[in-house]
Chains A and B, each alone.
Chain A
Amino acid sequence: MKLKQFIIGILVVFGFFAANAQDAPSGEKSSLFQNTEFQIRAGFSIGGSAPIPFPIEIRKIERYDPTLALGLEANLTKWLGDNQRWGIRTGLRAEGRGMKTEAEVKDYYTEVISDGGQKVTGNFTGMVQTTVKNSYFTIPVLAVYDLSSRWNLYGGLYFSSLIERNFSGYVYDGYLREGGATGSKLIFEGDDKGPYDFSDDLRVFQWGALVGGEWRLQKHLQLFSELTWGLNDLFKKDFKTVTFHMYSIYLNIGFGYRF
């Protein structure tokens, strides 16, 4: 796992800086580290890739499983001024975003596709299972506001790059009308599954808004909760099979350690 090694490397580097910043006697802090805070974070995310607006083809979400999507982050906050009211924060995060859903659809345009690329395209009415399991490197760029001795609020933008991708699933318990609503019916029943895999059609670059808050449990330990809202489509522009736009919306919850 290259990803794990990379994360460990990043943490070591940040840890080193953080330790240095802390070890230096307060009077001798270089200007670079003046009013600077290092933090490492671990958390998990709950959310999904949601179509917005919700398409008429999706009748009912039968099952939703947020899956276990973990995130690790190292960040640095530069406080503007000695009163430490406002600050700016950036860092590097490795995070998973995933979900599993089962939805009842009607007239849902899709293609059932084989590994070799052969496909059957048409309007499906029945059940659709979807698994999303993506990993991203994310750089947040945030403004931080020190609300009280215990609370920090922050908000800004994030920029993500896709490193591991999976958007796949299958249709079942229903029928596909080949080519469109007037095509021949193909019935899927019992164990019949029509798999699909749109992993290669995922957009690599994702960006969006991020707002959150952190609560100081004690001097070093913090709890945080934040919402990330994707502002560009999950899929590439030229990808037409999923006829609606999908956006990543996740709530991240976890704890941070402030050096």
Chain B
Amino acid sequence: MKTRHLFFFLIAALAFSSCTKDEALNSEADILSVIVPQEILKADPVIENNRVTIRVKPDTDLENQAPVFTLSKGATISPENGTVLDFTRPHIYTVTSENGKNIKEYTVTFIIAGLSPYYGFEHFRLNESGKYYVFYEVNENGDNLMDWASGNAGFAITAGETPPDLYPTTYTEAGRTGRALKLTTRRTGELGIMFNKPIAAGNIFMGTFDVSAAISSPLLAVKMGIPIELVPDTLKGYFKYQGGDVFVQVVENAQGELVIEEYENGEIPDHWDVYAIFYDNNGGTLMLDGTNRFTHENLMSVAHLDPVDAIETDQWTAFELPFVQKPGKTIDPQKLANGGYSISVVMSSSAGGDFFKGGVNSTLLIDDLEIVSKK
């Protein structure tokens, strides 16, 4: 009997020590959403891990804005919600988690200026974690007009200590004029292979890259579109291109498993891609993504490079793509003035990059991009 008591005691002790504790105070310090008067918004605010970008209509009083933020459970923000600030310049907000241990800074920017028609890829900075470059555009006053989005944030997940120059999206000093954009298809290493994403094409686009979806649904991570007050007619620019020798792709085998295939010595040539989409953004609420960018019913017009023109060349070569109107679509001038239409220009060093197909080290240089609008 004694033995049984002993066992009972020990098992009870074990069970007791294994009881789950009460949940800890929340450790997250996120801005979940931002509230400003609906009538000033050109598009839904874009919230990234350390940035909030709010595009507003031209008649907005930037000097007196009092945004209100919803936060992670229990978190607090400084300056306080509803504080009136002059947003002709960005402000830094500090969010503190419920448990007080984590602090995150957000740069909150109101953008009132419209998109520029010309893009020289002269301006870039390191992202918040200092890992990769982010290109941005400024107006003559130096105000930020737009950050270019790229898959660099996704590449960073598996990149470890890779220096910024070896990311897929970077720059070269040897531009046609000044600097130029440099897109290179890179291997993603062991972890990338594990996630069946063996390569990352160098890409850049107008919109935002939602890194949270990068592993689970990469096509949805690419959110395209920024409001524009002009009707685009032609997309022009200059490029140089060299395709990579080793072509990598992910295919489904007979058992329905994803396998990675490699073709050496240029067996499958790679080619680059550029396109632009112009669409009705449903009052600033719609962004297209990798699944519907060419098929969505809201598309007004599309400009797309013909694959036969995606040649290899070591000379700056011009391209000029007309926006081809979708049938039965007409522009509403009032909607246009209110930012009701969005554009995204997308470039990639491997045309199949969205599906993790491409030539390793395929390199695309782009400079002096221009969106020519209809008169």
B214 close to A186 (CB less than 8 A):
yes
The chain A residue with its CB closest to the CB of B4 is A213
B27 close to A147 (CB less than 8 A):
no
The chain B residue with its CB closest to the CB of A215 is B3
Task: Assess A56 versus B194: contact at CB under 8 Å? Given A153-B3, A180-B102.
Answer: no
Contacts of A149 in B (CB 8 A): none
The chain B residue with its CB closest to the CB of A175 is B212
Is A53 an interface position by the 8 A CB rule? yes
Query: Which residues of chain A in 218-237 are interfacial with respect to chain B, using CB atoms and an 8 Å cutoff?
Result: 225, 227, 229
Is B191 an interface position by the 8 A CB rule? yes
Contacts of A189 in B (CB 8 A): 216
B17 close to A184 (CB less than 8 A):
no
Partner of A211, one of B10, B189, B216: B10
Contacts of B14 in A (CB 8 A): 50, 249
CB A124 to nearest CB in B, in angstroms, measures 12
What total count of A-B pairs have CB within 8 Å? Answer: 109
Is A123 an interface position by the 8 A CB rule? yes
The chain B residue with its CB closest to the CB of A59 is B20
Q: Give the most central of A57, A153, A175, A181: most B CB within 10 Å.
A: A181
The chain A residue with its CB closest to the CB of B157 is A120
B2 close to A153 (CB less than 8 A):
yes
Query: Which residues of chain B in 43-75 are interfacial with respect to chain A, using CB atoms and an 8 Å cutoff?
Result: 49
**Using an 8 Å CB-CB cutoff, how does the interface string of A167-198 with B read, 1 for contact, 0 for none?**
00000000101111111111111101011000
A188 close to B19 (CB less than 8 A):
no
Contacts of B190 in A (CB 8 A): 114-118
Query: Which residues of chain B in 203-244 are interfacial with respect to chain A, using CB atoms and an 8 Å cutoff?
Result: 211-216
Partner of A181, one of B3, B18, B29, B214: B29
Bound: A113/B189 CA distance, A: 12
CB B281 to nearest CB in A, in angstroms, measures 25
Bound: A101/B129 CA distance, A: 35
CB A181 to nearest CB in B, in angstroms, measures 4
Q: Interface extent on A, as a size class?
A: 35 or more
Q: Give the most central of B14, B102, B211, B215: most A CB within 10 Å.
A: B215
The chain A residue with its CB closest to the CB of B28 is A181
B216 close to A53 (CB less than 8 A):
no
Q: Give the most central of B2, B23, B101, B194: most A CB within 10 Å.
A: B194
Partner of B189, one of A56, A118, A147, A180: A118
Partner of B6, one of A182, A195, A211, A229: A211
Bound: A113/B190 CA distance, A: 9
Bound: A181/B6 CA distance, A: 43
CB B208 to nearest CB in A, in angstroms, measures 13
**Using an 8 Å CB-CB cutoff, how does the interface string of A107-119 with B read, 1 for contact, 0 for none?**
1000011111111
Is B251 an interface position by the 8 A CB rule? no
A181 close to B211 (CB less than 8 A):
no
**Using an 8 Å CB-CB cutoff, how does the interface string of B87-100 with A read, 1 for contact, 0 for none?**
00000000001000
Contacts of A225 in B (CB 8 A): 3, 7
Bound: A113/B157 CA distance, A: 12
B contacts, CB < 8 Å to A: 2-3, 6-7, 10-11, 14, 17-24, 27-29, 49, 97, 101-104, 129, 153, 157-158, 160, 189-191, 193-195, 211-216
Can you list 5 contacts pairing A with B, beta carbon distance less than 8 Å?
A54-B21, A112-B191, A114-B193, A182-B49, A192-B216
